[in-house]
Chains A and B, each alone.
Chain A
Amino acid sequence: MITQWLFTHVDRRGAFAIALLVAIAFFVPVLNLLVPETSALHVPTYLVSLLGKYLTYALLAVALDLVWGFCGILSLGHGAFFALGGYAMGMYLMRQIGPRGVYANPVLPDFMVFLNWKELPWFWYGFDNFWFAALMVVLVPGILAFGFGWLAFRSRVTGVYLSIITQALTYALLLAFFRNDMGFGGNNGLTDFKDILGFNVQAGTTRSALFAATALFLALAVFLASFIIRSKLGKVLVGVRDAESRMRFLGYRVERYKLFVWTISAMLAGIAGALYVPQVGIINPSEFEPANSIEAVIWVAVGGRGTIIGPILGAVLVNFGKTYFTAAFPEIWLFALGALFILVTLFLPKGILGLYGSWQARRATRAALKDDDAQPPLVKQSSRLVPAPEPQAAE
């Protein structure tokens, strides 16, 4: 019954991805914890964390694809929402250190003691509670995105202008978080985490659990994205992408639809950031770097925008390549990334998955054309008494 319900909201590809993610959420920890280290099947702990990191990137890519691939909003600042979610989680992890910090202050994180602060700033209140922090992980990016989107979409800022202001947004946050008086650890950010929910973040079991949580959240995101895209709302979003003014003249409040998907997307990016931080052990302002957001755009483009699964593929493959290249040929990684983006834009405009999709569509169209009794088009005789009309944009 559950599978049937799942299938009404997810296509075959999505269902396959969800099943696969649930499976690896189970098997990767098993292969790490239960299979002895001497076995060839053993997954070392460092690899669990590395894969977990890739999956958080994949979650960010799904979030970005939701707005870019399906609604045509190219965000060059999605890293900001990712980083904000990460900071919310980082603040919780800092509060868990308690008196075990270098300065052994039971309340103040080390960097505050170092800066001679006497008490906790008000915006750090509540972050000792996991659920409060978890709420902030979605609320902070969500509220920022809502405010930003409300202003931008209402003023009908679109296209490259919107991309530029998203870039400005993340850059502004980068500069703000660099400042020590912001109260987020300045340049060094938040690190030296000890526990999450009472478990040691360094422990293999915790790392496996974080990996499993990431895979499951990604599966959930695939489901949510599929549900949205397959609903009428999703069709409106694609309509906005293809012909925004047609949507308006049909009576849809385009800005509200954009705002909805934009906010959801920012929240997903926040969750991705929150899962990322305990697995890499640090969050600092460099996560706001515009280059990070652009890299996320590349993952989506490589995997195939406008497909829900493509961005996951793109994020994992590109980051796998990054891990390999930065170790093997550190000096050429950026060139490789640039070349990849150029090649994909030129030869695979719909990404890896789009290539497969367009091949399928071509086959379907050919089959449909065969069924259609094609009529030869009648030649139009000029019946115009008038001077030449405006040039028609014939497709």
Chain B
Amino acid sequence: MKAKDTLLYLDGVSVSFDGFRAINNLSLVLQSGEMRAIIGPNGAGKTTMMDIITGKTKPDTGDVYFNGTVDLTGHDEAEIAMLGIGRKFQKPTVFESHTVEDNLMLALAGPRSAFSALFHRQSQAEADHILEILYTIRLFEKRHWLAANLSHGQKQWLEIGMLLAQDPKLLLVDEPVAGMTDAETAETAKLLRDIARTRSVIVVEHDMHFVRELDVKVTCLHEGSVLAEGSLDHVSNDQRVIEVYLGR
């Protein structure tokens, strides 16, 4: 397959840390507008894969292309973020000493230079956009709260909201429902499906119930490479997947 016409294209990617092959000849293709769920046991390389896509880790070998032509291995985190790749961490990572509103303000797409930030004045359009996101992530009432005072689930949502504000083409979402209540999990699945209508999303998740709710193509990673790929039913019936991951 060619990198052209794809949103994200990983081919033959390998990376080792101190002799441990975290990613081993991994190939993965994501089409524009697609949502993909990534599953796999601990240590399968899910988070390392995200590190490679977002520029935190450089692969030893292999190609990583975004939008068909942009070689991501030649860019750092900030540049890749500006290209349009947003990332949600496994542990909710928000700016705890800022208000919910300011968290979104900082994430909002726009110039990122220090000088423009020093003299930045919030425009009406920006304020409206923040308001819109506050409604989407259901934190409007808490917009003046310090993020530190939010519940775990609310922090997860705030972080998703920050990704929306960033307006990326591709969202990488690492375990969005970890530590959420069932009600919150269902809401999050709905939220992600809404988001996937306008952009591409990769979700890493352990919660099979949640993956089923997403109802998208699934890739199972194992020991740094793809073990199986297809619909959830196809993947969860794969003998090797059952052996290494699902168990029983």
Contact = CB atoms under 8 A, between A and B. Distances in A.
A245 B93 contact: yes
B65 to A, nearest CB: 19
Interface string B206-248: 1111100000000000000000000000000000000001110
30 contacts: A233-B118, A233-B120, A239-B95, A242-B96, A242-B97, A243-B94, A245-B93, A246-B95, A250-B106, A250-B162, A361-B146, A365-B146, A372-B141, A378-B182, A379-B181, A380-B180, A380-B181, A380-B182, A380-B185, A381-B182, A384-B207, A384-B209, A385-B247, A386-B206, A386-B207, A386-B208, A389-B178, A392-B90, A392-B179, A395-B92
A248 interface: yes
B99 to A, nearest CB: 10
A381 B112 CA distance: 42
A251 interface: yes
B125 interface: no
A387 interface: yes
A232 B118 contact: yes
B208 A383 contact: yes
Interface of A: 228, 231-233, 235-236, 238-239, 241-243, 245-254, 256-257, 260, 361, 365, 368, 372, 377-381, 383-387, 389-390, 392-395
A384 B205 CA distance: 10
B107 A250 contact: yes
B113 A256 contact: yes
Contacts of A385: 208-209, 246-247
A391 B98 CA distance: 26
Contacts of A394: 152, 179
Given A231-B118, A235-B105, A253-B78, A242 B112 contact: no
A378 B107 contact: no
A232 B104 CA distance: 12
Nearest to A231: B118
Contacts of A380: 179-182, 185
A14 to B, nearest CB: 17
Interface in B47-92: 54, 56, 76-79, 81-82, 86-87, 89-92
Contact of A389 (B56, B175, B181): B175
Contacts of B151: 377
B113 to A, nearest CB: 7
Interface of B: 41-42, 54, 56, 76-79, 81-82, 86-87, 89-98, 102, 105-107, 112-114, 117-120, 141-142, 144-146, 149, 151-152, 155, 162, 166, 175, 178-185, 206-210, 245-247
A183 to B, nearest CB: 36
A102 B235 CA distance: 92
B105 A250 contact: no
Contacts of B81: 248-251
Contacts of A378: 181-184
A385 B209 CA distance: 8
Contact of B149 (A241, A249, A365): A365
B118 A254 contact: no
Nearest to A241: B97
A393 B105 CA distance: 26
